[in-house]
Structure 1
Amino acid sequence: MITVVGIGADGWDGLPPAARRELASCQVLMGSSRQLDLVPGEFERVAWPSPLLPNLPDLLARHADRRIGVLASGDPGFHGIGTTLVRLLGADRVRVLPHPSSASLACARLGWALDEVTVVSLVGKPAALLVPHLHPGRRVLVLGGSPAEVAALAPDARITVLEQLGGPRERVHADLAAADPLHVLALECGRDGASTTPGRPDDAYEHDGQLTKREVRAVTLALLAPRPGELLWDVGAGAGSVAVEWCRTHPACRAVAVEKSPERAARVGRNATALGVPGIRVVVGESPAALDLEPPDAVFIGGGLTAPGVVERCWAALRPGGRLVANAVTLESEAVLTGWHARLGGELTRVEVSRAAPIGGFTGWRPQKPVTLWAVTRPWTGPESGTRPGAESGTQPGTGPGTRSVTEEEQ
């Protein structure tokens, strides 16, 4: 059993008797150098290695026959080492004694309601992750962020520095340049900030014309139906707009953007960072060869539909209950979609958009290229296969009116 004790800037004096007793019974005490200096007693003190996560299993194994205590800042289960240890060892091998979190202390000092505040941890993470949380009038607490970087991302926000919370050196002020390393940044957002609803303006993206246009993108994301924690493959990503807006719907959503052009792939990375989802993984390569990836919960095929094996590979990799959406703008790619619709079913939709544009001294409608969308959901598998009643295995796409078949590869 490993005991994880939350500790604040007030150190030993701020710990309740139960936490002190637990620490006093430990043989090995692990934590940051700063935290280890806060606790008196005769322990073997082990400072966290860097990087921590790759080295943590071996470190724990070396002390497996001893009683281990771990120090964590504030609440160990709130963006802390406690959750990491539980994932690694299991909840039955970790006991957590929480302390008030830095977010709780910050809200107490500011008079903010904790349940109405967004908390973003930038500890060891890129500052761009803050961008999707900046909305007019919202209150945001930033853990571990660089004051200068945060201020650059939120130039119209009122920023308060809360440092050494709970300790004798606690200070609340607005001097970003003088912020103590142990701080929380409290943001009161101004008027800037973009909606997380899909369908951002086209000019929000850097692109060379290979971009799923705004209106079609909104429909595409609605059909992909992102849910927290799910993984998307954006195949033939172009500018990466679908992957970006998938990830912006919820912080737990993930995406892999697959693009054969190195130049466009680099552009996907820049768009992802600029729009606050730098965690998108960009894979440079041609599909289907580049699709040896973690199985997705949803797939969007925006390019490469006519390449042999692309749809087969995406369908085979899709998790049960997952959604596949493919868009076509040429007759050749549309023929591929109609063939697969005959084979697997789903929905075919054509979207035609016209935008108002000047015509001499007047205004008229300028039509965009029509786009055909095919959306299909992979059946949940179980004792019964996903094959529709009466389907015959091995039928090729479009080989008969109303044909619906699922081959062994598709199962």
Structure 2
Amino acid sequence: MSVLVIDNGAYELKIGYATDDKNPAHFRVSNSITRSKDRRTYVGNEIENCRDYAGLTYRRPHERGQLVNWETQKAIWDNQFYGKTSKLVGMNGGKPVDPSETSLILTEMPYSLPALSSNMDQIVFEEYGFDSYYRCTPGSLVPWNDIRELYNDTSSRSSPVSECALVIDSGFSSTHVLPVVLGEVYWPAAKRINIGGKHLTNYLKETVSFRYYNMMEETFLMNVIKERVCFVSLKYQLDLEEAHINKRKSLLRIDYALPDYRTSKLGHIVKGATSSNDSNQVLTLTNERFTIPEALFRPSDLNLDQAGIPETAINCVKLMPEEIQSMLLSNVVLVGGNAVLPGYKERIREELQSFSPQGVNLRVGMPVDPISYAWQGGCRLGSQKDMLSKAYVTKADYMEHGVNLCLSRFGIKKMDNSIAMD
């Protein structure tokens, strides 16, 4: 029985089969149906064949992190399971996925509404007919990786899953801080910040449109520019003064040549003094490079009455039993798309250090690929067949007991202090 692992993110799908390989093969697929200006429609990774990224419009299955549009989601899954252009099908020797002979590990966003989770269970068993199925949050899969490697820790590991970890998952729709103990999220202490990569992209669009060019319809392009030039400042006030005083000669200045969609689809960063000779329109960015990601640490910049990531993480730890608070601070793991921003890890470590009690051995780790790290944890779980068999629900059990079995098996579990310390 093959095990298919899908990290069903709001921005991207991470999908592949579970194997024992150290670097298992998987694919990242846009979780959207995209329409171009010439009215062509692209499902999932078909967007790679688009020639003109100007004015793309998106239809996504998720709204504010909740999977609400199953018509769209099912079309994207069908394309990956059965489509001729699917990389998953190509990896399987051209054979489409056979759900009746496949076990599925599928993630959903934390705090998903029970009715939406039930819809997912019904689709998996009644529409696709998977043999067995395990639904969980991405954060609960992270400790299945060997997180000791993130801290260069050579101590022995006594169980397949790390005992505890403080997972900071900053993704497309929101940011979650999840204390995970023995593979289970301790929900009374879990926290959510209503800011993610989508908000940063929209913030950059509005700022650039107000100061330079109208980019309100160029979501794809502004997201590319955000990923290429933005960073998290370690000395915010000093950088702000530097960008204000020496705007033209500042080392923080970057000139970005916008695409002409003939020779370039994405544009490029202009090197040196060639900006005046570049035939394309040039977008000059200085303080925008670091004031946009600063919203992750100051949500008040976007009129959100919430604390930033480090303060939220400390508040989360304080709600945990005292015996394991120091253990959580010694196993902080950063995942999600926003973690790839330069300076992100260093800024969180610096601010967590200032909030942490004296004498705590603070360790903040970030994997090489923070976007797919939860999927890799699911792959490790999928290779532990004995552990997985205790967690999943089979189709036969579902047909006998219905969706209530999935809700009770996969729902939020209460965990008292004694259980947390076992």
TM-score by length of 1: 0.25
- Structure with the higher fraction of residues in strand conformation: 1
Q: Which has the higher contact order (CA 8 A, sep 6+)?
A: 2
TM-score by length of 2: 0.24
